[in-house]
Structure 1
């Protein structure tokens, strides 16, 4: 069974151009599988090894939650304690009596997702200017890095020590996670695998595009502060499989662990739909961990995306099997999740995963034909593309797209987008909705279908353009007008939306980011100069209009 798992890992890494991977599977007693492949440093051709550290991003949130639950076990806090009771210096938006520790832990406090303008957690908290969700408290799952930054500050205040010290003394040391660090500084540089990101950030990445070393970041915030080896993370996963205990060492009480997996948000993280992997019946976020029901089993999961790194942990409590995946692929890709879920499936039942169906070049032929992807499509301006099946192999098909005298493969992504190297279509990804392709502001429909046209005098055109900032988490986006809808489209980025997002007007030059009225994120534009807004503000992070289109 290990041979088929290795083959699947290597196939996914090759198909999606992952520089290096470290994969460990454990049961309640020990490591049952380990696989290291690729390179920790591409330029030096250094292979990934068992001692290489990888930042684990948001998997750190589970450690933060464990630290808070230990304080709960000690009677130092309650889950209904408000964050303002513990941090009395917080600005007014965060002083609501509805923002409790439990709601912060399961992402139902209504706090915005992230504040990327500042690296320091206290700075992010004190300068919080975002709105709160309009949803009833506790009723709406909205993932929030800011919420976990607040939890880390609360843990430090209650315990009288830094979160890093708390995690080291009460989690890492008892679990003998000897190589893991609870904050990442320049002192750790040599021990870490080099992270990678697309060399170009202004257009969608296509497998095969050039990669470049990601910028180095020092991190200590509770939303993503740890770096670990796969073996060490496997020990943490064994503790989860043990209900809060590992080899007789109790990290969490039975009651605290039960709270972790039962105090659930109404919904939770999105789950990749992978052929050969059992479908997830439900996904709801608990206290620091996503709780899924799959084939009657309770499965704990968490992903971690950092600039230059993508990680994933999955622990099946009923099967007694966990898989930990660390990669130095950029954190805006769910490739680590795909590797983890497929590896778990292969270890349980070898041969379940068809690696061709994970290849971005191959599409489900029946779906392509039923959805109407194929044919000639034309824009209101007369631009024409032609999408065709270039090759058919059983139930799979390779697609190509033609336009402007060129032809190139049309590739799937993990989400709703399709990408291509066709020169005229490089700036945006393609999405298919209804009976037409969308590309930026452009709708491309069959010759018999009418196409939406934006009014030339629409005042929303003042906000359209390309915007940039210096934050490595979400470097740039474009705003386009398609018909009468204003859309934000980001080519990539760890904190960027994965799909095009509607901007809904809620005030003069102010827009809600997303169609769901419960969402708290806002985008505000500066007063137009010569008919164009010179800047935009996203949750306190300023972007200036770029000179590039």
Structure 2
């Protein structure tokens, strides 16, 4: 791992730390205050924005999405899929990523998979309607409203279009004004182009060992994820955001209670997480229950978790992704980085007595794909 940086808060005390380099060529060190692509952590921001509109009566959680966006989600699907199902990934609409990036469609078969699409799409401007159509035309992952969900970025691209429909603003603009600024975040934004403004690390993609050495994807358009996973932030801002959200200062307490109603959702890496409306629940035996989200982009990963009582917070960023090589069946193989991250999460989230118990479960929130 070239570099890792983090901020941990505990009952009013704050620790910030960084280790390693932001640039493997120059040796420039990472710093704890660097901006970073935080991937699907953006989903909590988008979900909070939707809940604000629910509070204002412009959106009903259990209304069919076709009532608002019949041109994007037409026919029977538009009548069956509700806003809630999009938020908690029970819509049955699959993720579009392997269709937007055709060279990924061989996953997890190494002979058929390549990084070709990552380079071809570096500056491509995807339209939301294009991404939604890719998801809707792919084979469904299940019936709408099932007892378990399947994680899908398509759901949150649709929610971005819903926000635009009911507010008259681009989703990213509405989220900036009503979520990011309301939380008092100073270093969080949806970049307007492929470059990040301000101090940041380069972001290295190993792509399951196929890219050796790992390739720098720090300059990359966010159009392929938008309000689903296109956010840039700092670890300080992420801790502040989740503190504000879980204290009822971004959405109401009743809206927060809706966001914390969870069910099992199969993540893109095949693991199962307890997912609400834009929030993960992470129960660490011997320690505590945490709420938050994780995320990744090409070359960048992040996780932000806050204890249920709000007194302990952890936000961690790493600047290389998909370091595990795959076996012939496409299963990621163990790597020393995995053990190091487990140890870090356990110590950051729990007191010393609970750190060992935390290590195994804390790592479950780490995404291996965007």
TM-score when normalising by structure 1 = 0.53
Aligned to 1:224: 229
Deviation at 1:189, TM superposition (A): 5.2
The answer to which structure has the higher strand fraction is 1
User: Is 2:163 the partner of 1:155?
Assistant: yes
Aligned to 1:205: 209
Tell me, in whole angstroms, the C-alpha distance in 2 between the residues paired with 1:66 and 1:331. 29
Deviation at 1:31, TM superposition (A): 5.1
Alignment counterpart, residue 299 of structure 2, candidates 287, 303, 308 = 308
Tell me, in whole angstroms, the C-alpha distance in 2 between the residues paired with 1:332 and 1:154. 36
Tell me, in whole angstroms, the C-alpha distance in 2 between the residues paired with 1:272 and 1:30. 37
Tell me, in whole angstroms, the C-alpha distance in 1 between the residues paired with 2:92 and 2:354. 43
Deviation at 1:216, TM superposition (A): 2.6
Say which SS state the counterpart of residue 61 (structure 2) adopts: coil
Aligned to 2:112: none
The answer on whether the counterparts of 2:298 and 2:321 sit within 8 Å (CA) in structure 1 is: yes
Aligned to 2:317: 326
**Residues 464-479 of structure 1: matches in 2 within 5 Å?**
none
Tell me, in whole angstroms, the C-alpha distance in 1 between the residues paired with 2:137 and 2:269. 31
Alignment counterpart, residue 185 of structure 2, candidates 177, 185, 189 = 177
The answer on whether the counterparts of 2:40 and 2:295 sit within 8 Å (CA) in structure 1 is: yes
Say which SS state the counterpart of residue 47 (structure 1) adopts: coil
Aligned to 1:192: 200
Deviation at 1:35, TM superposition (A): 0.8
Say which SS state the counterpart of residue 222 (structure 1) adopts: helix
- Segment of structure 1 superposing worse, 84-93 or 333-342: 333-342
Tell me, in whole angstroms, the C-alpha distance in 2 between the residues paired with 1:42 and 1:72. 46
The answer on whether the counterparts of 1:22 and 1:36 sit within 8 Å (CA) in structure 2 is: yes
The answer on whether the counterparts of 2:245 and 2:251 sit within 8 Å (CA) in structure 1 is: no
Relative distance call for 1:93 and 1:193 in structure 2 (3 A) is: farther
Say which SS state the counterpart of residue 186 (structure 1) adopts: coil
Alignment counterpart, residue 48 of structure 1, candidates 24, 27, 30 = 30
Aligned to 1:265: 263
User: Is 2:277 the partner of 1:287?
Assistant: yes
Aligned to 1:120: 127
Q: Which sections of structure 2, spanning at least 5 residues, go unmatched?
A: 102-125, 325-336
Deviation at 1:261, TM superposition (A): 0.4
The one-character-per-residue Cα deviations of 1:98-157 (angstroms, maximum 9, x if unpaired) are 211101111111110223427332221245412323446232210011111101111111
The one-character-per-residue Cα deviations of 1:269-323 (angstroms, maximum 9, x if unpaired) are 59999xxxxxxxx942100011233348432132101101011112211372111
Alignment counterpart, residue 59 of structure 1, candidates 41, 48, 61 = 41
Q: How many residues align?
A: 323
**Residues 395-410 of structure 1: matches in 2 within 5 Å?**
none
Tell me, in whole angstroms, the C-alpha distance in 2 between the residues paired with 1:87 and 1:312. 32
The answer on whether the counterparts of 1:82 and 1:97 sit within 8 Å (CA) in structure 2 is: yes
Alignment counterpart, residue 34 of structure 1, candidates 16, 19, 37 = 16
The answer to which structure has the higher helix fraction is 2
Relative distance call for 1:36 and 1:153 in structure 2 (3 A) is: same
Tell me, in whole angstroms, the C-alpha distance in 2 between the residues paired with 1:80 and 1:292. 26
Tell me, in whole angstroms, the C-alpha distance in 1 between the residues paired with 2:133 and 2:201. 33
**Residues 273-422 of structure 1: matches in 2 within 5 Å?**
283-295=273-285, 297-318=288-309, 320-330=311-321, 338=342, 341-345=345-349, 347-349=350-352, 352-353=355-356
Deviation at 1:331, TM superposition (A): 5.4
Relative distance call for 1:240 and 1:26 in structure 2 (3 A) is: farther
Relative distance call for 1:169 and 1:319 in structure 2 (3 A) is: closer
Tell me, in whole angstroms, the C-alpha distance in 2 between the residues paired with 1:31 and 1:66. 27
User: Is 2:145 the partner of 1:137?
Assistant: yes
Tell me, in whole angstroms, the C-alpha distance in 2 between the residues paired with 1:99 and 1:195. 36
The answer on whether the counterparts of 1:325 and 1:339 sit within 8 Å (CA) in structure 2 is: no
TM-score when normalising by structure 2 = 0.76
* More contact order relative to length (CA 8 Å, sep ≥ 6): 2
Tell me, in whole angstroms, the C-alpha distance in 2 between the residues paired with 1:153 and 1:192. 29
Alignment counterpart, residue 72 of structure 1, candidates 54, 57, 61 = 54
Say which SS state the counterpart of residue 32 (structure 1) adopts: strand
Say which SS state the counterpart of residue 324 (structure 1) adopts: strand
Say which SS state the counterpart of residue 316 (structure 2) adopts: strand
Give 1 or 2 for the bigger CA radius of gyration: 1
Q: Which sections of structure 1, spanning at least 5 residues, go unmatched?
A: 1-17, 245-249, 274-281, 359-413, 416-491, 496-549
The answer on whether the counterparts of 2:80 and 2:144 sit within 8 Å (CA) in structure 1 is: no
Aligned to 1:19: 2
Relative distance call for 1:31 and 1:233 in structure 2 (3 A) is: farther
Tell me, in whole angstroms, the C-alpha distance in 1 between the residues paired with 2:133 and 2:85. 20
Relative distance call for 1:240 and 1:338 in structure 2 (3 A) is: farther
Tell me, in whole angstroms, the C-alpha distance in 1 between the residues paired with 2:196 and 2:100. 24
